[in-house]
Chains A and B, each alone.
Chain A
Amino acid sequence: MTTPRAGTSNRATRILGAAALSTLAATVVLGLFVTKPDEVQGESVRLIYIHPGGAWTAYLAFGVTALASALYLWPRTRSRLWDLIAGASAELGVLFIALTLVLGSIWGRATWGVWWTWDARLTTTALLLALYLGYLALRRVPASVEVRSKRSAVAALIAAVDIPIVHMSVEWWRTLHQGRTVLRPHPQIHGLQLQTLLLGVVAMTLVYAWLLIHRFRVELLEEKLDDIGLEHAIAERRAEAGVRS
């Protein structure tokens, strides 16, 4: 692994960053200016260009966390790097899922007239947010690197196992007895609208990949700093005591 001298970027990530920002900019232009307001929903339909992208990216991020955690626990592929990737990806997943909830809430207020409804998807998403906030809280508990890595990896896998159970139970909860409380107005989406939505998904995924690489490198540097700091401290104490190393 080559350590970049200044910052955490290299040529590849700069290209990735440029691609992420330009697709994001294109989504903004298409979503805010080029596409027309919806007949039923008016201007609030523009939120749909970024909302599904956020949700998709959050699930992708949690998938990466689960995969990296499994690779960490598997003895043949065990490496601290997997743990760092799992942590960085979970942070981004929480960021994107919070973004999805906020965007969805704003859209709900404009379309349904309420900030929140007990829709199956909303409830599942909120529970997922809580689940991964717990995971991140566990990661932040001070411990030795190896202890923290193993603990977090197991917790991430348990969280991943829980996702389908939570999903299934909440789906049933909202559908088994009362039927659908909220019928999502599904405007037949096509043409430029659909393309803008898909562009939004691509843009969010690129932003995720870009941030993931940088976050991962920052974590790596933080760990290195800890090691160097310890070495320095030991060297200083030795110098004080007049011991030659």
Chain B
Amino acid sequence: MFRDAALVAGKDLRIELRSRVATNQVAPFAVLVLLLFAFALDPDRGVLNRATPGLFWVAVLFSSLLAVQRSFGLEAADGGRDTLRLSGLDAAGIFVGKATAVALQLLALQVVLGVGVVVLYDAHLTGPAQLVATCLLATIGLAAAGTVYGVVAAGLRVRETLLPLLVLPVVAPVLLAGTKAWEAALAGAPADGWPWLRLLAVFAVVYVTVGVAAFGLLLEET
């Protein structure tokens, strides 16, 4: 399973590196969202600075939708999906691979967004260990849940509108927990963040399990 996962993840990441869609479109979009928040909220009153954790995670959530759609858009062209099924790769391996590729892209994106909030919102990233732990756990959960629904929506004519409706309510706990954990770290009270990190870990475990168990069924039947 892990060998298959590495193959699929390697393939997706290679495509991203060569096509540069993630760097030329998704990352600029995420930074643009940060700019739009500044237009919507008064940048002079410190609102942006106080709301940094929430805005950061909303930007991550929106970008994750793009990353997931892109991940399955790759397979939609030229019958890639059928090729995947015929390849003999383990379905759980395909799931782990695709989710890993999405997760790695999201982590890179979070680095960009992290720099973005420091520069644009004057955020001071205190408690880096907790911030990074939050990012890692939240990203696993987002990538797993996104990949499960990505394959459900892939290939449908209404996928662009259906995917956000399916994914966003499901990952709402990630937004909540990620924001609260970041708030705790930035406020210098890391102990307040632990329950949220545990919640993120539970979310990640649940959706990785669901994905490993159900992906074969979804890949085959839709």
0 or 1 for each of A164-178: is its CB under 8 Å from B? (1 = yes): 011011101100110
Is B84 an interface residue, CB under 8 A from the partner? no
Question: Known pairs A151-B221, A154-B152. 5 more at Cβ < 8 A?
Answer: A150-B221, A155-B166, A166-B169, A176-B192, A177-B192
Please measure, in the bound complex, the distance between the C-alpha atom of A109 and the C-alpha atom of B8, giving whole angstroms: 53
Identify which of B14-22, B70-78, B95-103, B210-218 touches chain A.
B210-218
**Given that A168-B199, A169-B199, A173-B180 are known contacts, is A146 also in contact with B221, CB under 8 Å in the complex?**
yes
Is A158 an interface residue, CB under 8 A from the partner? yes
Residue contact B206 to A138, C-beta cutoff 8 Å: no
Residue contact B165 to A147, C-beta cutoff 8 Å: no
Please measure, in the bound complex, the distance between the C-alpha atom of A48 and the C-alpha atom of B170, giving whole angstroms: 30
Please measure, in the bound complex, the distance between the C-alpha atom of A230 and the C-alpha atom of B86, giving whole angstroms: 32
Binding site for A on B (CB under 8 A): 148-149, 152-153, 156, 158, 162, 165-166, 168-170, 172-173, 176-177, 180, 192, 195-196, 199, 202-203, 206, 210, 214, 217-218, 221-222
Residue contact A165 to B206, C-beta cutoff 8 Å: yes
- List of B residues within 8 angstroms of A73 by Cβ: 217
**Given that A150-B217, A158-B170 are known contacts, is A137 also in contact with B152, CB under 8 Å in the complex?**
no
- List of A residues within 8 angstroms of B180 by Cβ: 172-173, 176-177
Interface residues of chain A: helix, strand, loop or mixed (majority): helix
Please measure, in the bound complex, the distance between the C-alpha atom of A161 and the C-alpha atom of B141, giving whole angstroms: 14
Closest Cβ of chain B to A86, distance in Å, is 16
Residue contact A151 to B152, C-beta cutoff 8 Å: yes
- List of A residues within 8 angstroms of B173 by Cβ: 162, 165-166, 168-170
Closest Cβ of chain B to A140, distance in Å, is 9
- List of A residues within 8 angstroms of B192 by Cβ: 176-177
State which of B168, B206, B218 has its C-beta within 8 Å of the C-beta of A130. B168
- List of A residues within 8 angstroms of B222 by Cβ: 143, 147, 150-151
Count A/B pairs, Cβ under 8 Å. 83
Closest Cβ of chain A to B22, distance in Å, is 26
Q: In this complex, which of B153, B170, B203, B210 has the most chain A Cβ atoms within 10 angstroms of its Cβ?
A: B170
- List of B residues within 8 angstroms of A158 by Cβ: 148-149, 170, 210, 214
Please measure, in the bound complex, the distance between the C-alpha atom of A49 and the C-alpha atom of B145, giving whole angstroms: 38
**Given that A127-B169, A131-B169, A158-B170 are known contacts, is A151 also in contact with B195, CB under 8 Å in the complex?**
no
Residue contact B199 to A134, C-beta cutoff 8 Å: no
Please measure, in the bound complex, the distance between the C-alpha atom of A161 and the C-alpha atom of B149, giving whole angstroms: 14
- List of A residues within 8 angstroms of B165 by Cβ: 130, 133-134, 137
Residue contact B152 to A138, C-beta cutoff 8 Å: yes
State which of A130, A138, A143, A169 has its C-beta within 8 Å of the C-beta of B176. A169
Residue contact A166 to B206, C-beta cutoff 8 Å: no
Please measure, in the bound complex, the distance between the C-alpha atom of A170 and the C-alpha atom of B174, giving whole angstroms: 11
